Structure 1
Amino acid sequence: MQITLSPVRREGRPTFERLGDALVIDGETFDFSGVPEGAQLPAEAVASDWLAGPVTRIAGELHLALALSHGANAPHETLFPDPVQVASDGAVPLPPYDATAPEEASA
């Protein structure tokens, strides 16, 4: 599963988890196994505010975009994230929500 992250200033962040051809967002499962090769499922067809673009299947792999919420002090890696390749089931690795304050980092 190839995931493009689209940063957006927004309070809170859900958990994202891959489960085969499904994506679990905060415990709600969105099954994309029915998306055939070369097809595109528009984001509007999925009842989630976290999907930021269409879901497509290219060479057997799902490609999708997720909104990446971040805090007011988000680090560069969060504001300009690299795409995420999720090869197996489990949590989708995400960059930090916010930068750690200097006093917290030295404690």
Structure 2
Amino acid sequence: MMKIKLWPDLVDWPMEVSVVGDVITINGEDIDLSVIPEGFRLPGSAVGNKFFVEDEYVERLNGVLYLTLRLPVDWNSPEKYRNPPEPIILDVSAGQVNFPDTTPPAPPVVELPVIEESNQEEAGNGGLEQA
């Protein structure tokens, strides 16, 4: 079992993650965390993968691995993912990790009004009046 805390980061890295036992696979790279014994922790920087947050720890407590991964966001991703009020934590036991969809919303479609051209013959001189 892993508890993955997500750290929003303004990067455009693709990320595909799965978990089997104590092995987390990120974009095809297997990272075996079984070397971390109960009650111990390892700095994220020691893992050697850019998705692990360097200043956070990977630790095992009560048989659960706790780790922090970068969550790629865009400058206009939903606010709840760019700057969450509470940390986003995923509980993962096995399989594909489903991350929140941080895709920016589509810009609204604005219908512009149709401007009808006036008939030049009706206006005569284009609406100008002689002073």
What is the TM-score with the length of structure 2 in the denominator?
Answer: 0.72
CA RMSD of aligned residues (A): 1.6
What is the TM-score with the length of structure 1 in the denominator?
Answer: 0.87
Where in structure 2 are there 5+ consecutive unaligned residues?
A: 110-131
Where in structure 1 are there 5+ consecutive unaligned residues?
A: none
Higher Cα Rg: structure 1 or 2?
A: 2
Deviations 1:53-102 (A, max 9, x none): 21100100000000111112111332215211112x11111111322304
- Are the counterparts in 2 of residues 72 and 98 from structure 1 also a CA contact under 8 Å? no
- Are the counterparts in 2 of residues 37 and 58 from structure 1 also a CA contact under 8 Å? yes
The one of the two structures with greater contact order (alpha-carbon pairs below 8 A, sep at least 6) is 1
Within 2, Cα distance between the matches of 1:13 and 1:97? 12
Q: C-alpha displacement at 1:4, in angstroms?
A: 0.4
Q: How many residues align?
A: 103
Deviations 1:34-61 (A, max 9, x none): 1101100111211101001211001000
Within 2, Cα distance between the matches of 1:54 and 1:37? 14
In the alignment, what sits opposite 1:11?
Answer: 12
Share of identical aligned residues, percent? Answer: 33
